[in-house]
Amino acid sequence: MLKHFLQFKDFTRAEHEYLFERARVIKARFKRYETYHPLADRTLAMIFEKSSTRTRLSFEAGMHQLGGAAIYLNTRDTQLGRGEPVEDAGKVISRMVDIVMIRTFEQDIVERFAAHSRVPVINGLTNEYHPCQILADVFTFIEHRGSIQGRTVAWIGDSNNMCNTWLQAAEVLDFKVHVSTPPGYEVEPERANLHGTGHFEVFADPLDACRGADLVTTDVWTSMGWEAENEERLKAFADWQVDADMMKRAKPDALFMHCLPAHRGEEVSGEVLDGPQSVVWDEAENRLHVQKALMEYLLLGKLEI
Ligand code: CP
Ligand code: NVA
């Protein structure tokens, strides 16, 4: 059956665990400079309606390293940007390539594309979710600290696509998220598409949210698409900067993550981002390895580890 990865909960816990294992194997081979071309002759189309550094690079380099090819399409210079229906684009693009990654605005756009696609579709970030990033983040946590089951993640800041995806991951992988957002920017459980299994708790004070956390994480105050609210958000989020004081409330061995790009002095202090608890560079690198495992799984199914 055709499989897509449009939100974190599209995969079961067993599937995620397989991906983490597979990513470990693929990463180790890559570090040994071993050639591994299971996707020879396969083509990935990458459709971008928003900017990107990491997502483009990790998918494009990843596909190349797996023996395939990647094609970059930007809305500005495709017919999508001139109003071609996304359903038609899904039908046409999926007749020419083997797998598609899309970064766009509303989740509905990737859902509609996927509904008309003959090939697997991956969400490379929407307004609602960023599932590939959370795959990398959980994999990074596992590399540094072991299983995330039963652990506590503190989410500080905006209830954006990253936050929603952490909340979904908590339900799928059975860990807890402490969320603290400024008033007016609270989590919307329906938008996050949660089962409501009690895997998150809301804290008015970000310092309280950090208490006992194994991982503290945040993201930009103004996501792509919300630029018009930037000034207002700078004021509203001023007390939600992850700084050394917040990190002190977490467990002594707590990690810090940020999907990047980061704004030092806004959502995170330079001291924390560049400090000893930060694993943001491993986190960024791991996009490459988990997405190679993801593409391999979507195209070839489960392989012997
Ligand atoms: N973290 C992330 O998705 O980065 P890019 O916007 O650079 O792709
Ligand atoms: N929440 C951010 C993530 C960027 C990788 C955004 O959507 O702009």
Peptide bond connecting 276 to the previous residue in cis, omega within 30 degrees of 0: no
Question: Measured in whole angstroms, how far is the alpha carbon of residue 92 from the centre of its chain?
Answer: 27
pLDDT the model gives residue 63: 98
Ligand 2 atom closest to Cα of residue 158? 1
Ligand 1 contact, 57 CB (< 6 A):
no
pLDDT, tens digit, 9 for 90 and up, residues 209-222: 999 999 999 999 99
Predicted local confidence at residue 201, as pLDDT: 98
How confident is residue 305, by pLDDT bands cut at 50, 70 and 90?
confident
The CATH code that applies to domain 8-130+284-300 is 3.40.50.1370
Q: What is the 3-state secondary structure (H, E, C) of the chain?
A: CCCCECCHHHCCHHHHHHHHHHHHHHHHHHHCCCCCCCCCCCEEEEEECCCCCHHHHHHHHHHHHCCCEEEEEEHHHCHHHHCCCHHHHHHHHHHHCCEEEEECCCHHHHHHHHHCCCCCEEECCCCCCCHHHHHHHHHHHHHHHCCCCCCEEEEECCCCHHHHHHHHHHHHHCCEEEEECCCCCCCCHHHHCCCCCCCEEECCCHHHHHCCCCEEEECCCCCCCCHHHHHHHHHHCHHHCECHHHHHHCCCCCEEEECCCCCECCCECHHHHCCCCECHHHHHHHHHHHHHHHHHHHHHCCCCC
Active site residues: 103, 130, 133, 219, 259, 287
Which tens digits make up the pLDDT trace of 89-126? Answer: 999 999 999 999 999 999 999 999 999 999 999 999 99
- Find out whether the beta carbon of 259 lies less than 6 Å from any atom of ligand 2: yes
For ligand 1, atom 1, name the residue with the nearest CA: 259
Domain boundaries, the chain: 8-130+284-300, 133-283
- 8-130+284-300 and 133-283: identical CATH topology: yes
Site to probe by mutation for ligand 1, drawn from 125, 126, 290 as the one with most ligand atoms within 8 Å of Cβ, is 125
Q: Which ligand is in closest contact with the Cα of 221?
A: 2
- 303 within 8 A of 296, measured Cβ to Cβ: yes
* Residue 117, both tokens: 């696609």
What pLDDT is recorded for position 76?
Answer: 87
Pocket test for ligand 1, best of 46, 47, 48, 53 (most atoms within 8 A of CB): 53
* Distance of CA 34 from the midpoint of ligand 2 (Å): 33
Instruction: Give per-residue pLDDT as tens, 270-294.
Output: 999 999 999 999 999 999 999 999 9
C-alpha of residue 132 to centroid of ligand 1, in Å: 10
The domain defined by 133-283 carries CATH number 3.40.50.1370: yes
Contact between residue 196 and residue 219 where contact means Cβ atoms under 8 Å apart:
no
Nearest CA to ligand 2 atom 1: 223
